[in-house]
Each structure stands twice: as C-alpha cells, then as structure tokens.
Amino acid sequence: MKSFILAGLAAITLSGSAFAQEAVVPPGEKPVDAYKQSNANADATPMTDQKTFEAFHGKEGIDRIVETLVERNFADPRIKDFFAAADKVRLKRTLKEQFCYILGGGCDYTGRNMKDSHKDQGTTNKDMNALIENLQFAMDKEGVPFAAQNKLLAKLAPQQRDIVER
Amino acid sequence: MKRLSKTALAAMALGVCAAGGAHAGEIETGGKLLLTHGVSAVEGGAGGGLTSWAVIAGNETNRGVGGEVHGTYVDVKDYKLRAFGGAVGWHDRVELSAARQEFDTGATGAKLGLGKGFTFKQTVLGAKVKVLGDAVYEQDSWVPQIAVGVQYKDNNQDAIVRAVGAKKDSGVDVYVAATKLLLDKSLVLNGTVRLTKANQMGLLGFGGDQSNAYKPQFEGSAGYLLSKRLVVGAEYRTKPSNLGFAKEDDWKDLFVAYAVNKSLSVTAAYVDLGDIATFKNQRGLYLSLQAGF
C-alpha cells in the first residue's frame, strides 16, 4: 500500500517535471542541460518480483547503499577523479532512482542513459570494476545477501558496453 | 587416507579463513574482480583446477599485462603429483603459460617395476586466445566467453612411455573452452572440448597400442559463488584410453576456491582420478596455491 502511494507520487512528480524540465532544479542540485526523461534511460529492465527489492531492505536500504557507494567513490583514489566535477546530490538521487527502478521498487528513473552520462569520461574496465567493488562493499554493509547482490550486478553488468570507452 | 584428506581440507579451510580476515574497508587494487579469472589449471593457465577455461590468467583487464604463478600438490592413494608454473595474460586477450609436472610413483614405482620413487616429469607450454564474448559483463546474453588454446607437452620418460605402449613422448592438445558467469544465479559454468592423444594428461605419453587418433574429450565445471571470495563446485574431465596395459578413467573433483585477496587464492579439492596404471581408485586431496598480479 505504502509503495503504491509512493509509486503514484513518483509518477505525478515525473509527469509534472516533464512539463518544465529545464526550469525545475531539485534542491541542492546544479542545473543540467535538457534531455528526454524516460525509464528506458535506466538501461536495464526492472525485476518483476519483489524478492530482491526486499533483500535490499526496500527504498530505505537502497538509499543507504547509494550514500555509502557515492561517498566511497568520491574518496576512492582509483576513481575519485571521475567524480571531481560531479554533482554529488544529483548523482545520489538518480542512482537511488535507478537501483529502485531496476529492483522493481516502483520508482521512476529521471537521469540520463548510461552512454550519455559517461560520455567522454574515458572509463576503463578497471574503473568500472573498482566501482562494482565499492557497490559490493556498500551492499555488504547493508547486509544484502550475496545472491541478491548478484541479481542487481547482473542487471548492471551489461551497461559496461555503454560505460567503458577504452 | 580419505579421512586424512578431509581433515586436512577442513584445517586448511579454517587456516585460510583466518588468514583471509581482510579489513572491511580495505580497497583492493587490480583490475579484475575477485576470482573472475578462475584459478590455475594443473596444465598451466587459467582454469578450474583439473580443467582449462576460457578466461585469461592474471588480474589485468584489456589495457594491461597480468599474470600468476602457482604450485599444486595432488596426493592420491598410490601416487603424488606436483605441478608448478606460471602464466601471463596480455590485455585479457592472450595467455601464455608454462607448467612443470612431476608424477611421483613413490612406493608404487617398485611394484610397477620402475623403482621406488620413480618420477615422470613433463613440461607443458600453453597458449590461449580469447576469441569472443565476455564471461562477466554480458549478463543479458547467453553467449559465453570463448577461447581457443593449444598445449605442447613434453614428457621426459621416452623409453618408459613407449614400453607401456605409448607412441610418443610429446604431443599437442588443442581445445576450445566456453566460460560463463550466470550472475543472477551466482553460478559459473565452463565447458571445454579438447582434442588430445595424451595418456593421463601426457604423463604416460601420447597415443597408444589401442588408438593413436585425436579424439574429442569433454571438460565440464560448475561452481556456485558463496561470496565474492568463495566458490564451491565440481568438475568432470573425460580422457582417452589408448593404452592396452591399463584402462584410463575420467577425472572428477569437488573443489573449494578461496580468494584471500586479489593476489592470492587457494584451491582445495577432493579428486577422483580413477585407475592409473593398473592401480585402482586414485582418490585424494588436491591443493593449489596461486599468486597473481
């Protein structure tokens, strides 16, 4: 019931923001160039059952995981340079949306697709693997069972084709 | 023997777990994810232990050169096998490997008329090229990572292997391997087809009085990922039976592979190598230590 209302709210927010994409900048975020918003930008099909979403402790669990992940990425000497100019507030919000959407939590993803959001960053496989390790760390910290972690990673792994450029 | 192996295995597992108490927040260097390059195969190169896989040795990805060295000890009822070697993985594409195997007949050597402690030694030089697919990333496709490989094997006991019926003391194996990680099921699968004339992997020479033709053999491995550091699984490897004096059996094992960190992993297995040179039911412990970069 709660998630139903949340999903409804998210849908209203989305249809509202679609109207005036350029004007509305969520609090704490920097303005971005206009782009077409769509759940297809998440570049993964959402899970149909709720089991994995529950294993991630729902939306609250995902929020905590993304907080840990993003903070760790910004501090990680291997990949922090990629995030030097990033809008941390926006990155956290869109990642939370993306994970929630993919895990079948009924959220909508309002960020860019993976190709556009990683364009010209020169990301390597090594960089992507470093981020995956940080995500595994964050999921471990949240106490997500390993098998459930792998279900999310399985959805994210094919994005390597769009993220890795060299 | 059986009980000893189990105890040793348990003790080792405990020891490794204790040693592997890596600090929770520690950032590990190295390009590949833990265990995604498999472990060392007994013939050198990356594989599952008794089998060769399509993954490329070492921790480096498409922009670097990685590698590993390994030492493997197999202690079955009537024989011991020691193997050590190394492999280099270039850009996660090409792998070159070398392994030295020592098949120690121990007290069994005297019973075979070879003399106590008689040891067959073999050098295996390998090359492998990844031709398509990616075992790890392509989780939206059933296409596995596929590699082709070749292994040149040279046995040092020419006279003895000929005396038991083998045609040559050296040979070449050619194989095609397919490896796939099924992440959403936490499974890793490998299937390999090998064209070979090797008797007991080449330790008893190549070809024989019964057959001297290349015949396709199959190697299958399945592992379940219990954590990013720990995989348990099983392997099966068919083998030709070219020698009249003793039939050759397929090999199988149950294994545990544990990545202490990115540079060190340990594989322990209970292996069943079947009958070897008329001595029945060669079962026992397989232990392999791998260090990589």
The answer to whether the beta carbons of residues B79 and B282 sit under 8 Å apart is yes
Answer yes or no: do A129 and B33 touch at CB < 8 A. yes
What pLDDT score does A75 carry?
A: 97
What pLDDT score does B125 carry?
A: 98
What pLDDT score does B128 carry?
A: 98
What pLDDT score does B26 carry?
A: 61
Residues of B in contact with A155 (CB under 8 A): 139, 184
Asked if residue B39 has pLDDT above 70, the reply is: yes
End-to-end CA distance of chain A: give it in Å, rounded: 45
What pLDDT score does B20 carry?
A: 40
End-to-end CA distance of chain B: give it in Å, rounded: 35
The answer to whether the beta carbons of residues A121 and B154 sit under 8 Å apart is no
Interface of B with A (CB under 8 A): 24-25, 27-29, 31-33, 61-64, 92, 134, 136-141, 182-186, 225-228
- Mean pLDDT throughout B47-72? 96
For residue B25, tell me if it sits in a domain: no
For chain B, give the mean pLDDT: 92
Spatial separation of the C-alpha atoms in residues A152 and B184, rounded to whole Å: 8
For residue B66, tell me if it sits in a domain: yes
Residue A24's pLDDT band (cuts 50, 70, 90): confident
Q: Does A51 touch chain B (CB under 8 A)?
A: no
Asked if residue A117 has pLDDT above 50, the reply is: yes
- Mean pLDDT throughout A31-35? 95
In tens, the pLDDT along A57-112 reads 999 999 999 999 999 999 999 999 999 999 999 999 999 999 999 999 999 999 99
In tens, the pLDDT along B272-281 reads 999 999 999 9
Answer yes or no: do B183 and A124 touch at CB < 8 A. no
In tens, the pLDDT along B87-123 reads 999 999 999 999 999 999 999 999 999 999 999 999 9
What pLDDT score does B46 carry?
A: 97
What pLDDT score does A124 carry?
A: 96
Nearest to A62 by CA among A81, A43, A75, A47: A47
What pLDDT score does B226 carry?
A: 98
Residues comprising chain A, all counted: 166
What pLDDT score does B95 carry?
A: 98
The residue ranges of every structural domain in chain A are 2-22+35-163
Rg (CA), chain A: 15
Q: Report the run of H or E that residue A86 belongs to, with start and end.
A: none
CB atoms within 10 A of CB B91: 14
Q: What is the percent of chain B where pLDDT is above 90?
A: 89
What pLDDT score does A31 carry?
A: 95
Domain count, chain B: 1
Q: Which of A150, A161, A165, A166 should one mutate to test binding to chain B, selecting the residue with the greatest count of B CBs within 10 A?
A: A150
The beta-strand segments (E) located in chain B are 39-40, 46-47, 65-76, 80-90, 94-104, 119-132, 145-155, 170-182, 187-196, 215-225, 230-237, 251-261, 264-272, 283-292
Nearest to A157 by CA among A132, A121, A120, A139: A132
For residue B170, give the 3-state DSSP assignment: strand
What pLDDT score does B234 carry?
A: 98
The answer to whether the beta carbons of residues A127 and A78 sit under 8 Å apart is yes
Question: What CATH number does the domain containing B164 carry?
Answer: 2.40.160.40
Answer yes or no: do B184 and A77 touch at CB < 8 A. no
In tens, the pLDDT along B247-256 reads 999 999 999 9
Domain A2-22+35-163 has CATH 1.10.490.10: yes
What pLDDT score does B173 carry?
A: 98
What pLDDT score does B34 carry?
A: 93
What pLDDT score does B29 carry?
A: 63
What pLDDT score does B12 carry?
A: 44
- Mean pLDDT throughout B176-191? 98
Answer yes or no: do A157 and B226 touch at CB < 8 A. no
Its sign, for the CA torsion B240, B244, B247, B251, is negative
In angstroms, the separation between the Cα of residue A123 and the nearest Cα of chain B is 12
- Per the structure, the complete domain to which residue B174 belongs is given by 2-20+30-292
Asked if residue B27 has pLDDT above 70, the reply is: no
ipTM over 0.90: no
What pLDDT score does B163 carry?
A: 95
